[in-house]
Structures are given as structure tokens and as C-alpha cells.
Chain A
């Protein structure tokens, strides 16, 4: 393959398309762009109007308190209706966070770092549909957990994710109570195994990673008491907002997980397990497989998976090394190109190619129409990136409608065949070039480019 063909494939598989400004004159060195983005990571400059996790929790709790006190005046309807208690704040937080998220993706040079962020947000899924609080927290979760650690060690990323209020709430750990804990013994309240199970099944070892039901239960006991402060609407509470370790709910005593006894006190017990899970062979395998599927192919070659697994284990889970190995692997540029770019990639890549910047509500709407509402997957296993889930009758039809709308608002004054050459993920076929050149308008040409196999496939 010629260097320029390699670049096309890599830019499609690992990025969001090269931004038009960057594509002036010399073709940019795609591999260089990738290594730059790996080195720089995915931190965002500080943005006004964004709250940290404790402040977000406080805001939503305050709203609940206000609403509760207005409802408690039940009994007589007023002569005029009471003003509606605003519940818009969580929605507004969501919108602002989404705006920042889209802006980062839109303005990046290649978009590899952003796709890494999307990968991990999807891996450590939380869903905004669960509650107003989750709607408000999903964005800050991505910023404070994923962006901060996606270019560091996996163990740090894992610990940050599993101790974040969004995850504890989404997977129902906040009221999980050890049966022999003080609260458990008194109230008979019990364990919730959801978070423990999903950590093993979805976040680390994988469903065939070699754990048993008793490991799940034991692990659930270890993380009982891992909960969230600042949720109560009672004004008397002095509990800080954020992760708290409630020792009264924590199951005391040593637990055995995967054949090893964990006997440290308090929160250390759980942290020790997470560290061991992060270093486990099955975890290396699971993460390697997911990365290979997300970026390279739905059925990636075994050699690639093994290579990434090795790097993961040898570097102690240093993710930058894994990404470097991934982008440099032979498999990265090897056919077949029968995968398909994901929903968010499609929308953002079109916006970058056409140089359009739709409003945040419109972008959110497009993602919703494509069945990929931002930060709201149908389950904790996130959105699928498989071609057979994405290339559906409804899916392709919706993509065409969105591509047409985006094309219509583009002011880019570039010849369609040149644009096609810039954004294709493989050498352009004669048939596609001809279809684009014979389009009856620039809009139609742009839409055909976006829907062409050269744009859609990776």
C-alpha cells in the first residue's frame, strides 16, 4: 500500500477525518498526528459554567429539596397555579456538558484522542435516562474520570470510574448493605450485586474471564458501603457531596475473590481488588479485544489482540503504550474494510468534512434519531460498534437524512471529488467518484460522499 493509502485507512479507523484547515498543501503525517494526540492526552482547557462532581450533586439535591417542600403544601389548590418548580437545571447541565464534548471532537486535529475518550465512556457506561441526577452527572463523569485517566494507567482509570457517584448510582451500589454490617444486621437491608457483577463482567475480566457467582457476591460485600453523600434533602445532613465510605453498611471481615483472600480494612479492601483486577490476564485480553474491535475490525486478527494484551501486561496497564502499539500494528492498515463507522463518528465526521457547526440541541437530536442518545445507552454494556447493529434499514436511511441536512448547511467551496479524496477511508472507486461528480447539486454530492462506502466503511 502506498503511504497515502495507508494514511486514508488510518485516518478513518483511528480518527474523525482530518480537519479541512489542516489539509492545506502537504498532506499531514497521520501517524505523527496520532502520536501527538497520544502524548497530549484528552484534557480540556477550563470552561466557564461547568461544575465539578460535588457541585453538581449539590445543585440537584437543592432542586429536589425545593420541589419537595412545594409538594408538601398539598391540600388546597391555589387560586392561581403555583409557579412551576424549575427542573431544567439538570437538562441545562447536560446541554452544556454535551456542548463541550462536541466542541472537543469538532476542533481536534485528527480526533484520535477524542475517540479514545468515547471508547472509555462507552466501556464505563452510565445512562442519563436513569434519573435527573445521572443526567447531570454523565458529562462531569466523562471529564473527571475518563479524560483525566484515559492516557494513564488502567488501574487509575478503573478506580476513578468505580468510585465515582455516577457509577455508584447507575449500578445501584449506593444502598447496598452488607448483611452482617451494623445497618444490615439492624434493618435487614441487603446487598445489591449489580456493580460488583458489572465490574467483573463488563469493566475488567469479561464474561468469560473466569469468575464465579460466589466471587460476585463476595466482591459485592467488599464494596458494600461504597456510596454517595449529599443526596438527602434533609437540611440537617453534614455529609460531604461525592463518594463516601459508609462503614456502617460495609460488610466486615475478609473476603475471597478469585482464590485470594482480601483482609484489608475499610475501603482499602475494595481498592486492592480493583488493582489486582486491573493487572489480571483476562482483563488485558478483554480490553485488548474491545480496543481492536472498536478501532480496527469487528473480527480483529488474533495476532493483534495478543499483541495488545502483551503490551498491556508488560507495561502494567499503561494505556498510552497500548494505543501506540495499536496504531502502529500491521493490522491497523490491513483489509478487509467491512466494518462501519459508529453513529457519533458519522455525525461528527460529516460536520468536520462539511465544516458545519450545528447547535448542541440539534446534534443531540441527530444522535437520538440514530439510536445513540448521548450518554444514554440502553444498558451498562454501552452502544455496539458492530456493522450488523449499525447498517440496519432504519439506520442507513436516517444517516442519509442527516447527511442531507448537514450538506445543505455547508458553505465549503470545494470540488466534491476533492472532498471525497480527503475524507475517504480507502482509495476512491471509479463508481463513487462518478456518482459524486454527476450529482445534480453540491448538496447532493456531499450527501453521497457521506453515504459512500468509502466514507462509511472502515
Chain B
């Protein structure tokens, strides 16, 4: 009798064993110090320079209309923008974010940027994710350095000897923001092809007999896959919107499911591309609007997937820089500076727009073209980290975001 046939595990067995391993590896250790809320922190990097003036149009600014012309949004009529506070509005594609805003779960920062003033995506993203003062300075991310600053025994802290991995990096290569010395577990949405279950089972059985290292690794991969789907593939809610929105929502949902689990990594990062709208950007409808719908659905999926953990969740949505205030000759916008940033989650003290509005009058534009940044991304993130994890100012200003001693963390970003 062939050993293979008689010992072929059911899928449940395979997952059970793999799930047990996964749990052991990620078992949270309880903190002794203060800051004992079991936070979930997910960073979404929007690659390509998100047009902040399109997502959160300042309809109350008298110069907005003249700058944005044919792609301008309107406070009324068909596809009207959604009012936030009567001055700032929200792009009509982002109905979920608007709902979260009204519920006090979304905080919007405007006129914000990193310290970087060049206009290269490559370097801008490097600065955004590395948290350094300039590009090509360090090759790890601020989230990773932050995890290393947490006290030993903290919920999130990994015991590297046991193989714990506190950080989730979504994508074929984990985003830079999450890379570094602290171990990262990688995951990708299976939207490009479903894992052939039958073959996977047989492969696992073969590895069990022939290659213990492959067995361990492959089993973990299958467990992550199952964990991201919540174990029941038939009842996945179908998000509204086109294929793009669906894909984005699925990625976010999977990441959130993994992080929401009692033994899952508490800190994660994922990236969405495609925000570089040099041509045919569109106004209330069009290229950017479709992608914003996807981002909106992604945020809603995270909220749903986090479930009871949403009240302790912070989602940080950032981009490397903004876009020109003017529309260009191809109905799009070019690289700029000031833009928007979101903090979304049940843990956020939201329902407001944080901005030191520089205005859109000609002389008030940076280099005569860009929204001037009056807030720094790092000050906001430092505030969020310090309030939610009780991490020291020194650690934040020297290690997590080196060279930011003079930047005071923003206070009062989170609910008590």
C-alpha cells in the first residue's frame, strides 16, 4: 500500500497543523508596561503622487475653480463633492470615507508633505517610506525601526529566536516602509491566480516526507492564504465598483483579516499604484475617480474585516507628494508638493480636517505651482505612534524619524 495514499491529509488537517504552527509563532506576549491597548496599525502607501486637491477639494478657496477648470468639483449638482466642513469637501467617489468621517473615525490632513522637495517618485517614496531626511540615506523603513523600539515583551515585539514576525508586508516585495531588521511576513492577494488546492495538498504531503524546510514554509504559506480569506470562501462580500475597486478591496481585506486574527501580525503595510495622473485625470468621474473608489472600498473592507478590532485600529494613508495646482495641457496634473494624508480607524479622533491652509492664490503657491505644505507627515505619524504605543519622543525623533527633534508630534490624534 502506498504511503502517499494512506497518509494523504485532508485540507483541514493540513491547515490545522499549519494553523497551529502559525499561532505558536505569533503568540502575543502580554505587555507589562502601559500602552496595553492591542492596536492594529496599517499603513497604505499610495504610489505615484496622489492629487490632494482632487481628493479633498477646498471648494471654499476662491482660487480653486480657476486653477482646476474642467476637472473642478462642485458642491452641488450631479456627482457633487461631499462636504466635510463647508470649506473642505471630499471627492464624490469616497462615500465610505465620508461616512467614516461623519462617524468620527477619519481624520484628514491637508497641505501636508514629507521634508522632501524634489519631484522624483523614486526618491520621494524612498523618503516617505524610509522616514529619513533625504533619499538613499537608509535602506529600511520607519515602521520596521519603530517595531524595534518597542520594549521587549510588548504585544507586538517579536522574539526573533522563536521566529516571530510582527510585521506584515503585502506584495511580491514588501514595501520599503516595513522592511528592515525586524522580521516581516510577506503576503500577496491571490487575485492573479487561485492556488490549486488539490495539488497543494499533494505537494505538502510530499514535502512532509522529503523536505522538512519546504514543508514548514509551504504550510505557513497555505495558512496565510486561508487566514486572509477568513476560512469561508463562499460568503465573501462582493464590494461595489468595477474590477479595479474589487481588486483593491480584496487586497486590503486580506491584509486586515490577517492582522485582525488573535495571533496575527499587528503592524502592516501595503501599497497601491497608479496615482500619477499626468493626463486625462478626470474630475468627478474618470481615471482618478475610479481609483479613489477602489481606495474607498479598501478602507471599508478593512473596517469590516477588523470587526471588533476596528476600535483599536489606525490606518495611515500617505503618498510621496502632491500635484500641481494648475491643470496641464493634457487635462491632468504634474508633480507637486503639498497633498493630503488620512488617519482612519475606530481609534482615531476624527471628524475633522487638520490644516494650516496656505491658500491657492498665485503668490501662496510653492514655486508658483504647488500647494504649499504647512504640515509634515512625520509630525502626524509621531503623534499617532506616541499616543497609541507610548513610545518616547527621543526614540521617535532620533531612530524612527531621524533628524526630527525640532518637529513636535501632533497631539490629540486618537480617541482616549
Contacts of A379 in B (CB 8 A): 139
- Hey, which bits of chain A sit against chain B, CB under 8 A? 70-74, 77-78, 81-82, 84-85, 129-131, 172, 194, 338, 365, 368-371, 373, 378-379, 387, 391-398, 400-402, 404-405, 429, 431-432, 434-435, 438-440, 444, 447-448, 451-453, 456-457
> Is there an interface contact between A378 and B173, defined as CB atoms closer than 8 Å?
yes
Query: When the two chains form the complex, which single residue of A172, A194, A371, A397 contacts B195, counting CB atoms closer than 8 Å?
Result: A397
In the complex, besides A395-B186, A431-B3, 18 extra interface pairs with C-beta distance below 8 angstroms are A70-B329, A73-B329, A81-B279, A368-B172, A371-B172, A379-B139, A391-B217, A393-B223, A394-B187, A397-B195, A400-B195, A402-B193, A404-B193, A431-B206, A448-B199, A448-B202, A448-B206, A453-B207
For A131, the closest partner residue in chain B by CB is B122
Closest residue of B by beta carbon distance from A431:
B209
By the criterion CB–CB under 8 Å, are A71 and B329 in contact? yes
Q: Assess whether B199 is in contact with A84, with CB atoms less than 8 Å apart.
A: no
For chain B, residues 254 to 297, give those with C-beta under 8 angstroms from any C-beta of chain A.
279-280
Q: With an 8 A cutoff between CB atoms, is B406 at the interface?
A: no
**B contacts, CB < 8 Å to A:** 2-5, 69-70, 120, 122, 136, 139, 172-173, 176, 185-188, 190, 192-196, 198-200, 202-203, 205-207, 209-211, 213-214, 217-218, 220-225, 279-280, 326-331, 334
Docked-complex contact A404 and B196, CB < 8 angstroms: yes
A397 touches B4 (CB 8 A): no
Check A393 against B217 for contact (C-beta < 8 Å): yes
Q: Is the interface of A mostly helix, strand, loop or mixed?
A: helix
- Inside 8 A of A439's CB, which chain B residues have their CB? 202
- Which residues of chain A are near B211, meaning CB under 8 Å? 453, 457
- CB <8 Å contact, A432 and B206: yes
Residues of A within 8 A of B223 (CB): 393
Q: Which residues of A contact B176 (CB under 8 A)?
A: 378
Known A-B contacts A71-B328, A77-B331; the reply to A440 vs B217 at CB < 8 A is no
Contacts of B199 in A (CB 8 A): 400, 404, 444, 447-448
Across-interface contacts of A431 in B (CB, < 8 A): 3-4, 206, 209-210
8 closest A-B pairs by beta carbon, nearest first, are A393-B221, A397-B221, A371-B172, A393-B220, A453-B211, A394-B186, A431-B209, A73-B329
Pairwise interchain contact A130-B122, C-beta atoms closer than 8 A = yes
B173 touches A371 (CB 8 A): yes
Q: A70-B330, A131-B122, A391-B214 are in contact. Are A397 and B222 (CB under 8 A)?
A: yes
Q: How many whole Å from B329's CB to the nearest CB in chain A?
A: 5
Contact with A400, one of B2, B196, B279, B326 (Cβ below 8 angstroms):
B196
Q: How far is the CA of A172 from the CA of B134 in the complex (A)?
A: 14
Q: How far is the CB of A358 from chain B (nearest CB, A)?
A: 13
Residues of B within 8 A of A444 (CB): 196, 198-199, 202
Nearest-neighbour CB distance to chain B for A167, whole angstroms, equals: 15
8 Å CB contact of A397 from B69, B173, B225, B329: B225
Measured CA separation A408–B331 after assembly (Å)? 44
Chain A residues, CB < 8 A from B280: 81, 84
A351 to nearest B CB, angstroms?
Answer: 17
Asked if B202 contacts A84 (CB within 8 A), the reply is: no
Contacts of B329 in A (CB 8 A): 70-74, 77-78, 82
Contact A77 B214 (CB under 8 A): no
- Set A85, A391, A394, A402: member contacting B188, Cβ < 8 A: A394
Q: What's the nearest-Cβ distance from chain A to residue B71, in Å? A: 8
CA A131 to CA B203, docked complex, whole Å: 41
Of B122, B200, B221, B329, most buried by chain A (CB within 10 Å of CB) is: B329
Give the docked Cα–Cα distance between A85 and B213 (Å).
51
Contact A398:B188 (CB < 8 A) given known A77-B70, A369-B172, A393-B224: yes
State the CA gap A246–B195 with chains docked (Å): 55
Closest A residue, CB atoms, query B5? A438
The contact sample of 9 A-B pairs, CB cut-off 8 A, is: A73-B329, A74-B328, A77-B69, A84-B279, A378-B176, A393-B224, A400-B196, A448-B202, A451-B203
